[in-house]
Chains A and B, each alone.
Chain A
Amino acid sequence: GAGVSQSPSNKVTEKGKDVELRCDPISGHTALYWYRQSLGQGLEFLIYFQGNSAPDKSGLPSDRFSAERTGGSVSTLTIQRTQQEDSAVYLCASSVDSNEQFFGPGTRLTVL
């Protein structure tokens, strides 16, 4: 497809479990971003990858959150020992020039 894709679209997990969320950016886009949108809230930046540079992790809320980007393409966001406050929609975006970002449909995470 031509757009950013994310999987799964929905994830329900139990408190304390680990989850992995996947993002496939638009082909050729060198920049990849993860954001979090909590219910009724705006978007909160989590982490940013640009080419081979070290990622900007300044938005990660705790050390339970980590992300990697393999081969400059697919990215995985991992949340360890999930908590109920982690429940949110996790959005991935990619861009070619760090300006206009194209967003995926998101993964809705529910922690019971």
Chain B
Amino acid sequence: AQSVAQPEDQVNVAEGNPLTVKCTYSVSGNPYLFWYVQYPNRGLQFLLKYITGDNLVKGSYGFEAEFNKSQTSFHLKKPSALVSDSALYFCAVRDGGTGRRALTFGSGTRLQVQP
């Protein structure tokens, strides 16, 4: 079975400060990891993914994430937060082997960036 944990329901950060949204995962095979963002009344938008290669992945809107195999983590980061980054963020995983193709999502973390 595969699972994702996002331990923080909400993260508050001041505009201009760095932000981190935490994600840990469990999967039996090779992890394929994803971050999605959801703005109010909108569908999910893809931010970035890790399949293989460099542990540091860069994505849309200045976001990046670091894959850490030993800690089974894939935290989302941004050096300088914007008020417009305020949204709901989801981490997701799938087994990169012959396992289930559907994504397993975390429960989401609401990011609130204060001006």
Chain A residues in the interface with B (C-beta under 8 A): 4, 31, 33, 35, 41-45, 48, 50, 56, 58-59, 91, 93, 98-106
- Asked whether A48 and B102 contact (CB < 8 A) given A43-B90, A99-B49, A99-B51, the answer is yes
List the 8 shortest-distance A-B pairs measured between CB atoms, nearest first.
A45-B102, A43-B105, A42-B107, A103-B44, A103-B43, A105-B43, A42-B105, A98-B101
Write the chain A residue with the least CB distance to B108.
A42
A105 touches B42 (CB 8 A): yes
Q: Are A104 and B43 in contact (CB under 8 A)?
A: yes
Q: Which size bracket describes the interface of B in this complex?
A: 20 to 34
**B residues lining the A interface (CB < 8 Å):** 32, 34, 36, 42-46, 49, 51, 90, 92, 94, 100-108
Known: A41-B107, A42-B107, A99-B32. A50 touches B43 (CB 8 A): no
